[in-house]
């Protein structure tokens, strides 16, 4: 009898030890509420110089303050200060028929890695970029999804301009990423990433037509989506600063051609490549070199926390880097608990687009918001923001074609608001 009791006690101790060394956590966030928006876009052309598009809408929607998600994460103690970890996180759309988001951001994060205490960690998989991790730590609105932010431009429900895309200012996440993060030494912490996705298959080009109506279709060939990034964080008492740079390279061999007599020539747009990967897509574009830089600082005064941010991005065509689009913006803000349960923030920013030829535009945005905390996991929120892109004139002519430049400036503005409830678990 005593031996049986000793055996049971020993097995219980072993099971308890194994359980303490490995753990899996289910976590998530649900954000639902009432969202409204107004957009106004002037899209004048030589044929219709007075064209103005207006939209107004409202809906019971989701993910206005934070994107709804469901995740699984775990760690295993390997001994000697080493541990393994993983994360699988999916986007949710609780207001739709299909709750698990089927869009490009369904896989928000999926990675596995190893950590060594006193040194740092590495992970491989779909992950946030070094700049996005820095923005998450230094944005006064905590990267919410309402218009009015130039560093993390977004909108909920409204169909705004390219400026209202979470991928307009920088690449949010990438597939095929190796991330490296050091421990903190004397207040400094280093971060790095390497993206590698090289594919090269046989390319088939089919030419049809005759004379000046030659056309072509291509399949296969080169499709390389690569990148790298470096970041450095510094913390001293109530002061925090971060500087980050990342470069994304996209190369495809498939070209588009147009007919010129009995020959084919490459069709290359005279103008800048488009920026703004809708929804923060993990794709790096098509035949572009995409360089991004972000620097920010915060200081906690106790009664409030102050924020200062600057971001710049230049996207150039691989065929000819004189065809480019550059975006830059600066933003300041404050965030504070007015009472132990009421939190508020306000931010404002200015920016500019510059590109080939006369392609230029001014950017403005501001946002105000508040949280009422019912508990540590549940809060009510109210957010209002506005963003505008003014007077853009973009050349749209092509090599081998006549100049079709849009002589009339275009502009776009959006106002966006939301009230809702957010619960984390």
Domains defined along the chain, listed by start: 29-424 (2.40.160.10)
Dihedrals φ, ψ of 144, to 5°? -80, 175
Segment 39-53 mean pLDDT = 67
Inter-residue contact 22 to 388 (CB < 8 Å): no
Q: Which of 134, 128, 165, 108 is nearest to 311 (CA)?
A: 134
More confident residue, 301 or 51: 301
Output the pTM of the full model.
0.85
Query: Which segment, 199-208, 290-299, 395-404, is predicted with the most confidence on average?
Result: 290-299
Q: Where are the alpha helices (DSSP H) in 22-154?
A: 130-138
Task: Please state, as a whole number, how many other Cβ atoms lie within 10 Å of the Cβ of residue 351.
Answer: 24
- pLDDT confidence band for 280 (50 / 70 / 90): low
- pLDDT confidence band for 19 (50 / 70 / 90): very low
Q: How many Å from the N-terminal Cα to the C-terminal Cα in the chain?
A: 45
pLDDT of 165 higher than 70: yes
Instruction: Give pLDDT tens digits for 108-161.
Output: 999 999 999 999 999 999 999 999 999 999 999 999 999 999 999 998 887 666
What per-residue confidence (pLDDT) applies to 339?
97
Listed range (131-140, 170-179, 281-290) with the worst mean pLDDT: 281-290
Q: What stretch of H or E contains 289? A: strand 288-300
Dihedrals φ, ψ of 212, to 5°? -90, 10
Residues 366 and 363: their CA atoms lie apart, in Å, by 11
pLDDT of 193 higher than 70: yes
User: Would you give the DSSP letter of residue 81?
Assistant: T
Segment 304-316 mean pLDDT = 95
94: alpha, beta or left, given left = phi > 0 and alpha = psi -120 to 50? Answer: alpha
């Amino acid at each position: 009898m005593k031996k049986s009791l000793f055996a049971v006690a020993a097995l219980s101790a072993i099971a308890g030890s194994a359980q303490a060394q490995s753990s899996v956590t289910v976590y998530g966030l649900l954000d639902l509420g009432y969202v409204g928006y107004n957009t106004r876009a002037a899209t004048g052309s030589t044929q219709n110089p007075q064209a103005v598009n207006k939209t107004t809408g409202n809906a019971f929607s989701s993910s206005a303050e934070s994107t709804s998600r469901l995740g699984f994460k775990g760690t295993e103690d390997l001994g000697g200060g080493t541990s393994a970890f993983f994360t699988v996180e999916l986007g949710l759309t609780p207001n739709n028929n299909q709750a698990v988001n089927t869009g490009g951001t369904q896989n928000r994060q999926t990675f596995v890695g190893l950590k060594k205490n006193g040194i740092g960690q590495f992970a491989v998989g779909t992950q946030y970029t070094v700049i996005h991790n820095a923005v998450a730590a230094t944005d006064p609105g905590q990267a919410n999804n309402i218009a009015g932010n130039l560093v993390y431009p977004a909108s909920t429900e409204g169909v705004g301009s390219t400026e209202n895309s979470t991928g307009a200012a920088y690449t949010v996440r990438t597939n095929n990423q190796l991330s490296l993060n050091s421990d903190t030494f004397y207040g400094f912490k280093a971060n790095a990433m390497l993206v590698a996705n090289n594919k090269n298959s046989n390319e088939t080009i089919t030419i049809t037509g005759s004379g000046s109506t030659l056309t072509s279709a291509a399949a296969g060939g080169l499709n390389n989506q690569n990148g790298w990034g470096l970041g450095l964080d510094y913390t001293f008492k109530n002061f925090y600063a971060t500087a980050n740079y990342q470069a994304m390279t996209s190369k495809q061999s498939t070209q588009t051609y147009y007919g010129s007599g009995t020959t084919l020539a490459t069709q290359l747009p005279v103008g800048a490549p488009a920026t703004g990967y809708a929804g923060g897509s993990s794709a790096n574009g098509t035949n572009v070199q995409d360089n991004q830089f972000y620097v920010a600082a915060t200081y906690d005064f106790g009664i409030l926390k102050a924020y200062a941010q600057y971001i710049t991005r230049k996207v150039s065509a691989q065929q000819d880097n004189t065809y480019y689009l550059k975006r830059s913006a600066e933003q300041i803000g404050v965030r504070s608990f007015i009472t132990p349960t009421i939190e508020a923030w306000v931010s404002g920013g200015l920016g500019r687009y510059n590109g080939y030829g006369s392609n230029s535009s001014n950017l403005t945005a501001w946002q105000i918001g508040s949280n009422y905390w019912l508990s540590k996991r549940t809060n009510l929120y109210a957010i209002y923001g506005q963003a505008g892109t003014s007077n853009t004139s973009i050349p749209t002519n092509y090599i081998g074609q006549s100049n079709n430049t849009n002589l009339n400036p275009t502009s776009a503005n959006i106002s966006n608001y939301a009230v809702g409830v957010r619960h984390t678990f």
